[in-house]
Chain A
Amino acid sequence: SQKIEQNSEALNIQEGKTATLTCNYTNYSPAYLQWYRQDPGRGPVFLLLIRENEKEKRKERLKVTFDTTLKQSLFHITASQPADSATYLCALDEAGGFKTIFGAGTRLFVKA
């Protein structure tokens, strides 16, 4: 069956360090992958989209990589801040883009 795996353990890092979150998937061949941020009790907010022919994409302090051979995406936040504390979800589309499947997310805590 199709599956998306993200670290279920929370990630605790010190302010100013780089946070790296992992998304692994099986039995998908996605044309693109997305990362969302979700704060407690709120809806997810889109951050970045990376296509299968893109190795890396950046937006301000965020960087995403996409390795279709390893079936893995890495999400990096450089110079992390306490305000970056949230749950980060990766998402893939199936059925030709009609249906988005989300990973369970990784909770990030950035300590001042």
Chain B
Amino acid sequence: DTEVTQTPKHLVMGMTNKKSLKCEQHMGHRAMYWYKQKAKKPPELMFVYSYEKLSINESVPSRFSPECPNSSLLNLHLHALQPEDSALYLCASSPTGVGEETQYFGPGTRLLVL
């Protein structure tokens, strides 16, 4: 299984809502990533988990809260978002997160904040 799955595919939320994005992989990878991508822009790294520990936080606002419950799952908890947070949120995984590795991406969650 070389697939990274993400749910939901689409999400519309108000600025006062709390929601969560979910990501799952069963490739035995120990590094998982969250990226944010705006239209016609490159994916921008938000968080990296390595062996279930947060290793990189790219100065992301606290309204985004990542969680890695186990080596297969990655969540992104959303609270009090702003309209400018509307984007495609991509999850990815790689074997260890170190060195010459390819990342496997999920299909993304299209988020719209009203």
Is the interface on chain A under 10, 10 to 19, 20 to 34, or 35 or more residues?
A: 20 to 34
A45 at the interface (CB under 8 A from B): yes
> By the criterion CB–CB under 8 Å, are B42 and A104 in contact?
yes
Report the bound CA distance from A100 to B104 in whole Å: 12
B13 CB → nearest A CB, Å: 18
Selected from A31, A41, A101, the residue in CB contact (under 8 A) with B88 is A41
A51 at the interface (CB under 8 A from B): yes
Main secondary structure of the interface of A (DSSP, over half): strand
How many B residues, CB 8 Å from partner?
26
B60-104: which have CB < 8 Å to A? 88, 90-92, 97-104
Count of inter-chain pairs, beta carbons less than 8 A: 58
Residue on A with the closest CB to B40? A104
Given known contacts A41-B107, A51-B100, what 20 new A-B pairs fall within 8 Å (CB)? A31-B100, A41-B88, A42-B108, A43-B90, A43-B91, A45-B105, A49-B102, A89-B42, A96-B99, A97-B97, A97-B99, A97-B100, A98-B55, A98-B56, A100-B45, A102-B42, A102-B43, A104-B40, A104-B41, A104-B42
23 contacts between A and B (CB under 8 A): A31-B100, A32-B100, A41-B108, A41-B110, A42-B108, A43-B91, A43-B92, A43-B108, A44-B43, A49-B100, A49-B102, A93-B100, A96-B99, A97-B97, A97-B99, A98-B48, A98-B55, A98-B56, A98-B98, A100-B103, A103-B42, A104-B41, A105-B42
> By the criterion CB–CB under 8 Å, are A99 and B56 in contact?
yes
Residues of B within 8 A of A103 (CB): 42
Residue on B with the closest CB to A6? B42
Where the two chains meet, the residues of A that have a C-beta atom closer than 8 Å to any C-beta of B are 4, 31-32, 34, 41-46, 49, 51, 89, 93, 96-105
